[in-house]
Amino acid sequence: MASKWFVAKRILLLVPVLTGVATLVFAILHISPGDPARVMAGQRATAEQIELIRQETGLNDPIWIQYGRFLADTAQLSFGDSYVLKPNQPVASILKNSIPITIELAVYGQLMGITLGLPLGVLSAIKQDSITDHITRIGALTGISVPIFWSGPVVIILFSVMLGIFPTNGRIAQGFFLSDTWLFFGNELPVTGLITIDTLLLGRYDAFASAVRHLFLPASVIGIYSMALISRMMRSSMLEVIRQDYIRTARAKGQGEKITMLKHGLKNAFIPVITVIGIQFGTLLGGAVLTETVFGIQGMGMILVEAIEVGDYPVVQGAVLVFALLFTLVNLGVDITYSYLDPRIQQ
């Protein structure tokens, strides 16, 4: 077991991954036609004002100097100040509050997808070509055909507007204050920034209930989509395992069919699926962009979209880097889990 080296190597690899992403972002923003100085100065600025900004921000320096400075700044996690969205506010502080929002959304969505998708996939595979199988497959196909920006509005219309069971948008009902200050919940969270965890840590069960009710619809929309993907994957992986010889042998030895499936099949079928779940996390982040827009949640996705729209480059850079970091960390976690499930991988 070379477990420590395995983990250390993967953590070290974060450096080139993030340098690569940072370089890509830098290149993309400098190839693109927009002039950051003009964006910063605003529509009515004169040529002199723009020139002044170019000099102040170093946009007149040779490009490689700018690149070097950009890498050095990024390494210290300083992404500069926002141009447009919240002028002169550091990007890090803008992103700080929105990162946990997106993480929370993605994690609960993915959890829903996994807890529903895995059993459905297994069921579908065990009862291949039965009614259950057909319904699951058609359901999964429908799930990946329905875009999040339609299923989102539909559940809002149904459950919020018509039935009034869940709130339409936001993270928590107005009027919940942190116990010893006048700060609203949702604007500043004291511990982790994850609202479902912080409310519990503070013992505010009423606020917790409200937060869960707010989170339910958006997380479900992501969850349904991810469930569809996972159940399809799990079904095919499970079928592949069932057809392998050792399952037949085990069955021939006279063990009960269901026990055989569970004992031998599940673990082996799950191994490839878990790695794909890690890669699918990227799709989920893409889904978070749309979900946040539909539900009016001020997460990373919404900030990224707004920043691209107005050409706020530092915010775009910061948001993309954080997305990349999240994606890499999730895959790192998956990789480590995977290496425990299948020790051959560490050779």
Partner 1 sequence: MERAARPGSASELWAWIRDRLRLVGSAALVGGVLAALGVVGSLLLTQYGLAVVSTQLFSLAALCFGFGLLGWSGSVLAGTGVEHAQRYLDTDTDWTEDDSRRAMARIGGFGFGGMLGVICVASLLGV
Partner 2 sequence: MSTRTQNTRRQGGIRGLFARIRASQFLSELASNRLAIVGLVIITTMAGLAIYARVFIGGVPPLTEGQYQAIIHSNLGGNSDLAKASPSLQYPFGLDGQARSIFPRVMYGAWLALKWGTITVGASTVLGVGLGVVAAYYGDITDNVIMRAMDVLLAFPSLLLALALVTIFGTGLENAVLALVLVYTPRFARVVRGAALKVMEDEYIDATVALGARDFRVLVRHVVPNCLAPVTVQSTLNFGLAIIDLAALSFLGFGAEAGTPSWGMMLSNGVEHGLHSAWWWAFFPGLFLALTVLGFNLLGDGMRDALDPRMRDAVD
Which member of 54, 204, 214, 232 binds partner 2 (CB under 8 A)?
A: 232
Which member of 75, 77, 259, 345 binds partner 1 (CB under 8 A)?
A: 345
254 lines the binding site for partner 1 (CB under 8 A): no
DSSP annotation of 146 reads S
CB 173 within 8 A of CB 166: no
* Residues 298-337, interacting with partner 1 (CB under 8 A): 328, 331-332, 334-335
Cβ distance to partner 1 smaller for residue 189 or 228: 228
Tokens of 157: 């219309």
334 lines the binding site for partner 2 (CB under 8 A): no
Q: Exposure pattern of 234-244 as b/e (b: 16+ CB <10 Å)?
A: bbbbbbebbee
Query: Sign of the CA dihedral 327, 211, 222, 242?
Result: positive
212 lines the binding site for partner 2 (CB under 8 A): no
Q: Would you call 90 helix, strand, or coil by DSSP?
A: strand
Q: Which stretch binds partner 2 (CB under 8 A): 70-78, 85-93, 107-115, 231-239?
A: 231-239
What is the number of other CB atoms lying within 10 angstroms of the CB of residue 307?
Answer: 24
49 lines the binding site for partner 2 (CB under 8 A): no
Q: How far is 39 from 59, CA to CA, in rounded Å?
A: 13
89 lines the binding site for partner 2 (CB under 8 A): no
CA distances from 128 to 134, 236, 259, 260 (A): 8, 10, 17, 16
152 lines the binding site for partner 2 (CB under 8 A): yes
293 lines the binding site for partner 2 (CB under 8 A): yes
Compute the least distance from the CB of residue 59 to partner 2, in Å: 18
Cβ distance to partner 2 smaller for residue 199 or 317: 317
DSSP letters for 239-289? HHHHTSHHHHHHHHTT--HHHHIIIIIHHHHHHHHHHHHHHHHHHHHHHHH
Q: How far is 309 from 305, CA to CA, in rounded Å?
A: 6
- Give contact residues for partner 2 (rule: CB under 8 A): 24, 28-29, 31-34, 128, 138, 141-142, 144-147, 149-150, 152-154, 156-157, 161-162, 168, 232-233, 235-236, 239-240, 279, 282-283, 285-287, 289-290, 293-294, 304-305, 308-309, 316, 320, 323
- Give contact residues for partner 1 (rule: CB under 8 A): 2, 9-10, 13, 16-17, 19-28, 30-31, 60, 62-64, 67, 233, 236-237, 272, 275-276, 278-279, 328, 331-332, 334-335, 338, 345, 347
